[in-house]
Chain A
Amino acid sequence: MAEVVVSDVRKNFGRIEVLKGVSVTVADGEMLVILGPSGCGKSTLLRCIAGLETVTAGEIRIGGRRVNELEPMHRDIAMVFQNYALYPHMSVYDNMAYGLRNRGTARPEIARRVQEAARILGLEGLLERKPRQLSGGQRQRVAMGRAIVREPAAFLFDEPLSNLDAKLRVQMRHEIRLLQERLGTTGIYVTHDQVEAMTLGDRLIVLNAGVVEQIGTPLDVYWRPASAFVATFIGSPAMNLLRSRVAADGAAVLLDGGRLPLRPARPDLAGSDVELGIRPEHLQPGAAEGGVLAGRVAWIEALGADTLAHLELTGGTSLCARLNGTLAVRPGEMLSMSVAEENVHLFRPGDGRRL
């Protein structure tokens, strides 16, 4: 149980900068999810914390202790790998006991801890099996078991669920969350799956090209994305981003298809270009009071519960709206949409920061 502090960590592979100064503090017992597209450096960050990669600059502290120079085994962490990384020649029992034996834990204590972990994870009947005799979900549990018997200061998860099928993934996601909460161990979880990130994390850190885009609770990140990148990365379908201009009085955003009032008004942005962000699920059909966007329905995707309507605004920009599935919409139809002003996001063109 410990706090993990990452301060201005940089990592270069040759001339390539993978992490460009990442800082984040993971509180004791917290589950932090590192989220980002492939190649954003999220696994590298985790491997730096684990000690499998050395950092080029910056500092990592686990439980108040600087660990930059420590070998992985001395960092008091346990890691669950994407491909489970179970030792194929050892039984389930030996897989879980390996780390304890290496640390010279007494034999009865090893047996007690392994039995306890097996009980928690429902692996009691499988202790004598070899990994190849287990299903994917069972292997995943053994990998978890190997981590928890050690009773480490922090769990590190490197996309542990990506090799499982969809149904099992939902179940294991839930189990991991329950287990981590019950043990109260600090957790750092890497994923590119936003649903996993939203459901597992106490907080998220969104990485893009080695730079921290935003750190916050899942709902924070959803409702107040710090950048256009975060806004489009979280949420499905992705947030609409429209090139637009703020009216001269700062009270509204002007668009080809209409005019959206800004409340409160933003006189500071009067007359400047902005990226306007609206989530598809926040567009409502019908002209409510305030601003409307009108467009022709180009095509629709009926998903049952929802219908995704792709609109073409008068200026030619396209917009996706998530409508109730019971609504009858046909391609070619003209549709006006309204949006509540609190769901209007403004981003600066260029660097995409929130305005």
Chain B
Amino acid sequence: MHKRVTFDHKLLPYLLLAPQLAITLVFFIWPASQALWQSVLQEDAFGLSSRFVGLDNFARLARSAEYLGSLRVTLVFSAAVTAFGMGIALLLAMMADHVIRGATGYKTLLIWPYAVAPAIAGLLWFFMFHPTIGIVAWLLKGGGVLWNHHLNGTHAMVLIVIAATWKQVSYNFLFFLAGLQAIPRSLIEAAAIDGAGPGKRFRTIILPLLSPTTFFLLVVNLTYAFFDTFPIVHAVTEGGPGQATMILVYKVYKDGFVGLDLGGSAAQSVVLMAIVILLTVVQFRFIERRVQYG
């Protein structure tokens, strides 16, 4: 059923849409087309002259070991954040699903990290792991690990994965919990009577019934790890040490705004744009074919 609204005045609908259109135009269409245009230009560092170079910027990216390294770092980072974020969230949701007393209290606490700004979250973990003043670093030292994410690339990667995961677990938790609570209890009981132990019930009943949620979260988490983790990297490692945590989004910023290679940076943006579009298409496709229960 569609609710059809008719306007007498021809201009009114456009006027009503204008604010949103203006925002989209100014903050999305304009910069995106600028990036597209920039990506085929080469500009001198002072911004005094530019020339058309075709797809040279892209070709340079494809040849650049640094860029491919950054791509690899991003894949490792995204995979880790998505896997840990979803795994921990599912575990917490399974446990929260069983809690009866004080359930709201637990849920509220588990949701809090999501309300923390990414940069603050990054800073929080930055301080906890700080090699000289951080409590976790101090504890690790007690355990024989000399923690220093300023020098050790693996340490730096682990740190941003922890910070990014911590923030995303809340979001995943909410969706997993809702998904779990949508599964009728009697299904689990029927499976228990049908001879399936807890592990088997999880694999053969719960997980398949959660698959719409899981798939949705997979896309959302990948998108998050690819694009929304900029503030965390910026606050914690600034892409270092070396290139160890130089994820694609951060490299766009580093190359463009710090390195002033505007053409190269724009080409990277265009690549990222393509990835966003791809993920969005996948997500929309999925939402259209949402699995229905019972």
Chain A interface (Cβ < 8 Å from any Cβ of B): 50-52, 71-73, 77-79, 81-83, 85-89, 98-99, 102-103, 131-132, 146, 150
Contacts and interface: CB of A to CB of B under 8 A. Distances in A.
B291 to A, nearest CB: 8
Given A85-B187, A86-B294, 13 more contacts: A50-B193, A52-B193, A73-B195, A73-B196, A79-B193, A81-B189, A81-B190, A87-B190, A87-B205, A98-B196, A102-B194, A103-B195, A132-B294
Contact of A85 (B189, B197, B204): B189
With most chain A CB atoms within 10 A of its CB, the pick from B187, B192, B194, B293 is: B194
B292 A132 contact: yes
A83 B185 CA distance: 11
B142 interface: no
Which of A72, A77, A86 has the most C-beta atoms of chain B within 10 angstroms of its own C-beta? A72
B190 A73 contact: no
A127 to B, nearest CB: 18
Task: Report the interface size class on chain B.
Answer: 20 to 34
Contacts of A83: 184, 186
Nearest to B205: A87
Q: Which 10 A-B pairs have the closest CB atoms?
A: A99-B194, A102-B195, A85-B186, A85-B190, A73-B195, A88-B294, A72-B193, A81-B186, A89-B208, A72-B192
Contacts of B209: 88-89
Contacts of B291: 89
Contacts of B200: 102
Interface in B186-233: 186-187, 189-197, 200, 204-205, 208-209
Interface in B250-291: 291
Interface of B is mostly: helix
29 contacts: A50-B189, A50-B193, A51-B193, A52-B192, A72-B192, A72-B193, A73-B192, A77-B193, A79-B189, A79-B190, A79-B193, A83-B184, A83-B186, A85-B184, A85-B187, A85-B190, A86-B294, A87-B187, A89-B291, A98-B191, A98-B194, A99-B195, A102-B194, A102-B195, A102-B196, A103-B195, A131-B294, A132-B292, A146-B194
Nearest to B194: A99
Contacts of B187: 85, 87
Given A52-B189, A87-B187, A88-B209, A73 B194 contact: yes
Contacts of A146: 190, 194
B213 to A, nearest CB: 13
B21 to A, nearest CB: 41
A132 B196 CA distance: 23
Interface in B147-187: 184, 186-187
B3 to A, nearest CB: 28
A98 B192 CA distance: 11
Nearest to A147: B193
A102 B201 CA distance: 10
A131 B193 CA distance: 19
A276 B292 CA distance: 56
